[in-house]
Copies of this chain bind each other. A is one copy, B any other.
Protein backbone atom coordinates (compact mmCIF):
# COMPACT_ATOMS: atom_id res chain seq x y z
CA UNK A 1 0.00 0.00 0.00
CA UNK A 2 2.74 2.46 0.79
CA UNK A 3 4.95 1.09 -1.93
CA UNK A 4 4.44 4.19 -4.01
CA UNK A 5 5.59 6.22 -1.06
CA UNK A 6 8.78 4.24 -0.52
CA UNK A 7 9.44 4.35 -4.23
CA UNK A 8 9.06 8.09 -4.21
CA UNK A 9 11.41 8.44 -1.27
CA UNK A 10 13.99 6.23 -2.91
CA UNK A 11 13.61 8.20 -6.10
CA UNK A 12 14.10 11.45 -4.26
CA UNK A 13 17.13 10.08 -2.53
CA UNK A 14 18.55 9.00 -5.85
CA UNK A 15 18.00 12.46 -7.27
CA UNK A 16 19.69 13.96 -4.25
CA UNK A 17 22.62 11.63 -4.64
CA UNK A 18 22.92 12.43 -8.33
CA UNK A 19 22.86 16.14 -7.65
CA UNK A 20 25.49 15.85 -4.99
CA UNK A 21 27.64 13.74 -7.27
CA UNK A 22 27.45 16.50 -9.85
CA UNK A 23 28.52 19.03 -7.25
CA UNK A 24 31.45 16.92 -6.12
CA UNK A 25 32.57 16.34 -9.70
CA UNK A 26 32.60 20.09 -10.34
CA UNK A 27 34.49 20.74 -7.12
CA UNK A 28 37.02 18.07 -8.03
CA UNK A 29 37.56 19.60 -11.44
CA UNK A 30 38.03 23.10 -10.06
CA UNK A 31 40.37 21.88 -7.34
CA UNK A 32 42.50 20.27 -10.03
CA UNK A 33 42.42 23.33 -12.25
CA UNK A 34 43.05 26.11 -9.75
CA UNK A 35 43.35 24.76 -6.24
CA UNK A 36 41.30 25.44 -3.13
CA UNK A 37 42.11 29.10 -2.59
CA UNK A 38 41.46 30.21 -6.15
CA UNK A 39 38.26 28.21 -6.36
CA UNK A 40 35.18 30.22 -5.41
CA UNK A 41 31.82 28.90 -4.32
CA UNK A 42 30.24 31.02 -7.04
CA UNK A 43 32.25 29.12 -9.63
CA UNK A 44 31.13 25.82 -8.20
CA UNK A 45 27.51 26.89 -8.34
CA UNK A 46 27.90 28.13 -11.90
CA UNK A 47 29.66 24.93 -12.90
CA UNK A 48 26.88 22.77 -11.51
CA UNK A 49 24.21 25.12 -12.87
CA UNK A 50 22.43 25.84 -9.61
CA UNK A 51 22.22 28.80 -7.25
CA UNK A 52 24.87 29.27 -4.62
CA UNK A 53 22.29 29.07 -1.86
CA UNK A 54 21.33 25.63 -3.08
CA UNK A 55 24.88 24.46 -2.68
CA UNK A 56 24.72 25.36 0.97
CA UNK A 57 21.68 23.13 1.40
CA UNK A 58 23.92 20.20 0.49
CA UNK A 59 27.27 21.24 2.01
CA UNK A 60 27.62 23.60 4.96
CA UNK A 61 30.85 25.28 3.87
CA UNK A 62 33.47 25.60 1.16
CA UNK A 63 35.75 23.39 3.22
CA UNK A 64 33.13 20.64 3.27
CA UNK A 65 32.86 20.87 -0.50
CA UNK A 66 36.57 20.26 -0.81
CA UNK A 67 36.46 17.48 1.76
CA UNK A 68 33.74 15.69 -0.20
CA UNK A 69 35.94 15.81 -3.28
CA UNK A 70 38.93 14.54 -1.34
CA UNK A 71 36.90 11.60 -0.06
CA UNK A 72 36.47 10.60 -3.68
CA UNK A 73 40.19 10.88 -4.30
CA UNK A 74 40.90 8.81 -1.23
CA UNK A 75 38.48 6.13 -2.42
CA UNK A 76 40.32 6.03 -5.73
CA UNK A 77 43.57 5.58 -3.87
CA UNK A 78 42.13 2.80 -1.74
CA UNK A 79 40.86 1.04 -4.84
CA UNK A 80 44.20 1.37 -6.60
CA UNK A 81 46.14 0.10 -3.61
CA UNK A 82 43.82 -2.88 -3.28
CA UNK A 83 44.27 -3.71 -6.96
CA UNK A 84 48.06 -3.84 -6.80
CA UNK A 85 49.06 -7.44 -7.61
CA UNK A 86 49.91 -9.29 -4.42
CA UNK A 87 52.72 -11.21 -6.08
CA UNK A 88 54.84 -8.13 -6.67
CA UNK A 89 57.82 -7.38 -4.48
CA UNK A 90 57.03 -4.76 -1.81
CA UNK A 91 59.32 -2.25 -3.47
CA UNK A 92 57.54 -2.65 -6.78
CA UNK A 93 54.19 -2.19 -5.09
CA UNK A 94 55.39 1.11 -3.67
CA UNK A 95 56.73 2.18 -7.03
CA UNK A 96 53.42 1.41 -8.69
CA UNK A 97 51.39 3.46 -6.27
CA UNK A 98 53.84 6.34 -6.46
CA UNK A 99 53.84 6.27 -10.24
CA UNK A 100 50.06 6.35 -10.19
CA UNK A 101 50.04 9.59 -8.16
CA UNK A 102 52.57 11.11 -10.54
CA UNK A 103 50.45 10.22 -13.54
CA UNK A 104 47.36 11.67 -11.89
CA UNK A 105 49.15 14.99 -11.49
CA UNK A 106 50.54 15.00 -15.00
CA UNK A 107 47.05 14.32 -16.32
CA UNK A 108 45.73 17.30 -14.34
CA UNK A 109 43.58 15.02 -12.20
CA UNK A 110 45.06 15.71 -8.79
CA UNK A 111 43.37 18.32 -6.58
CA UNK A 112 45.70 20.73 -4.83
CA UNK A 113 44.94 21.91 -1.32
CA UNK A 114 46.84 24.50 0.72
CA UNK A 115 48.72 22.52 3.32
CA UNK A 116 48.68 25.40 5.81
CA UNK A 117 44.92 26.06 5.93
CA UNK A 118 43.82 25.14 9.42
CA UNK A 119 40.07 25.31 8.91
CA UNK A 120 40.35 23.03 5.90
CA UNK A 121 42.51 20.60 7.82
CA UNK A 122 39.99 20.57 10.65
CA UNK A 123 37.14 19.66 8.31
CA UNK A 124 39.23 16.99 6.58
CA UNK A 125 40.24 15.41 9.85
CA UNK A 126 36.64 15.49 11.03
CA UNK A 127 35.55 13.51 7.99
CA UNK A 128 35.34 9.86 8.94
CA UNK A 129 35.31 8.73 5.33
CA UNK A 130 38.43 10.71 4.53
CA UNK A 131 40.34 9.69 7.62
CA UNK A 132 39.39 6.03 7.29
CA UNK A 133 40.68 6.04 3.75
CA UNK A 134 43.84 7.86 4.68
CA UNK A 135 44.54 5.49 7.55
CA UNK A 136 43.92 2.39 5.47
CA UNK A 137 46.18 3.60 2.69
CA UNK A 138 48.84 4.54 5.22
CA UNK A 139 48.60 1.15 6.87
CA UNK A 140 48.97 -0.77 3.64
CA UNK A 141 51.84 1.37 2.41
CA UNK A 142 53.44 1.22 5.84
CA UNK A 143 53.34 -2.56 5.73
CA UNK A 144 54.94 -2.63 2.30
CA UNK A 145 57.62 -0.22 3.47
CA UNK A 146 58.56 -2.41 6.41
CA UNK A 147 58.61 -5.50 4.23
CA UNK A 148 60.81 -3.73 1.70
CA UNK A 149 63.14 -2.66 4.47
CA UNK A 150 63.34 -6.19 5.87
CA UNK A 151 64.11 -7.47 2.40
CA UNK A 152 66.89 -4.92 2.05
CA UNK A 153 65.14 -3.14 -0.80
CA UNK A 154 64.53 0.10 1.04
CA UNK A 155 67.10 1.72 3.30
CA UNK A 156 66.36 0.19 6.74
CA UNK A 157 67.99 3.11 8.51
CA UNK A 158 65.16 5.42 7.47
CA UNK A 159 62.15 5.52 9.80
CA UNK A 160 59.19 4.02 7.98
CA UNK A 161 57.20 7.17 8.64
CA UNK A 162 59.81 9.25 6.83
CA UNK A 163 59.56 6.95 3.83
CA UNK A 164 55.77 7.20 3.91
CA UNK A 165 55.84 11.00 4.03
CA UNK A 166 58.36 11.10 1.20
CA UNK A 167 56.05 9.02 -0.97
CA UNK A 168 52.97 11.07 -0.02
CA UNK A 169 54.89 14.23 -0.90
CA UNK A 170 55.29 12.96 -4.47
CA UNK A 171 51.54 13.51 -4.80
CA UNK A 172 52.13 17.28 -4.76
CA UNK A 173 55.67 17.49 -6.09
CA UNK A 174 56.24 20.89 -7.75
CA UNK A 175 59.01 19.39 -9.88
CA UNK A 176 56.39 17.79 -12.10
CA UNK A 177 54.76 21.10 -12.89
CA UNK A 178 58.05 22.85 -13.61
CA UNK A 179 59.28 20.11 -15.92
CA UNK A 180 55.93 20.09 -17.67
CA UNK A 181 56.09 23.85 -18.18
CA UNK A 182 59.56 23.46 -19.66
CA UNK A 183 58.00 21.50 -22.49
CA UNK A 184 61.18 19.51 -23.11
CA UNK A 185 59.88 16.14 -21.96
CA UNK A 186 56.85 13.93 -22.35
CA UNK A 187 54.68 13.09 -19.39
CA UNK A 188 56.08 9.57 -19.37
CA UNK A 189 59.64 10.85 -19.28
CA UNK A 190 58.83 13.21 -16.43
CA UNK A 191 57.19 10.43 -14.44
CA UNK A 192 60.21 8.20 -15.03
CA UNK A 193 62.65 10.89 -13.91
CA UNK A 194 60.78 11.82 -10.75
CA UNK A 195 60.13 8.21 -9.83
CA UNK A 196 63.77 7.36 -10.41
CA UNK A 197 64.97 10.32 -8.40
CA UNK A 198 62.64 9.43 -5.57
CA UNK A 199 63.81 5.84 -5.20
CA UNK A 200 67.36 5.96 -6.55
CA UNK A 201 68.34 9.53 -5.66
CA UNK A 202 70.28 12.06 -7.66
CA UNK A 203 73.60 10.32 -7.14
CA UNK A 204 75.03 8.00 -9.72
CA UNK A 205 74.68 4.42 -8.53
CA UNK A 206 77.97 3.01 -7.35
A-side residues, CB < 8 A to B, are: 34-35, 37-38, 91, 112, 114-116, 149, 152-156, 158-159, 161-163, 165-167, 169, 172-175, 177-179, 182, 184-185, 193, 196-206
Task: Give the complex CA separation of A179 and B163 in angstroms.
Answer: 11
A156, closest chain B residue (CB): B204
List residues of chain B with CB within 8 A of the CB of A114.
37, 114
Per DSSP, chain A at the interface is helix
Distance from A93 Cβ to chain B, minimum over Cβ atoms (Å): 13
Asked if A200 contacts B165 (CB within 8 A), the reply is no
Asked if B159 contacts A169 (CB within 8 A), the reply is no
Distance from A78 Cβ to chain B, minimum over Cβ atoms (Å): 21
A38, closest chain B residue (CB): B116
Knowing A154-B204, A203-B154, A203-B155 are in contact, say whether A34-B197 is a contact too (CB < 8 A).
Answer: no
Task: Give the complex CA separation of A159 and B169 in angstroms.
Answer: 22
Distance from A50 Cβ to chain B, minimum over Cβ atoms (Å): 27
Knowing A162-B179, A162-B193 are in contact, say whether A152-B198 is a contact too (CB < 8 A).
Answer: no
